[in-house]
Amino acid sequence: MSAIWQPLARVRRRITRGPRRTPRPERHAEGAATDLTFALSRADLERLIGALTRVPGVEPGRPDTPARLEAALRIAIAGASGSGAPAVTRRPAGVYTPETWQIAVLGADRATQLMLERALQGGGFA
């Protein structure tokens, strides 16, 4: 965790009275797992949502909330035989600032990384 986010994590623990932890998936022998972070603008988010709506097994409707987007990413990663635990947050930085969607995938393997990068560029999930 970078030095910038450590104070925010500490505040979150104090407010919620406990740690917010996402379990780390097992690391695979075929390549070292890594933690990925993407910050998406609204246009990037729309491309990703469009790609996720075509993934088999994703619930009908648009994955346009953090919880739905996280669930859809989890299904897409599993469908591609990848590994990683997605976590999605939406951050409005200020009243006049456009929102940013942050997607973190903990313990992602190389296949998951390539799949997500391709989807974010408009190539969809394959």
Query: Per-residue pLDDT tens for 52-80?
Result: 988 888 888 888 888 999 999 999 999 88
Task: Name residues whose C-beta falls within 8 Å of residue 61's C-beta, 6 or more positions apart in sequence.
Answer: 68
Task: Check residue 64 and give its pLDDT.
Answer: 85
Closest CA to 113 of 75, 92, 86: 86
Domain ranges for the chain, please list them: 31-120
> Could you give the percent of the chain with pLDDT greater than 90?
20
To the question of pTM greater than 0.75 for the whole model, the response is no
Task: Check residue 95 and give its pLDDT.
Answer: 65
Regarding predicted confidence, which is higher, 11 or 56?
56
Task: Check residue 27 and give its pLDDT.
Answer: 47
For the domain bounded by 31-120, which CATH number is listed? Answer: 3.30.1370
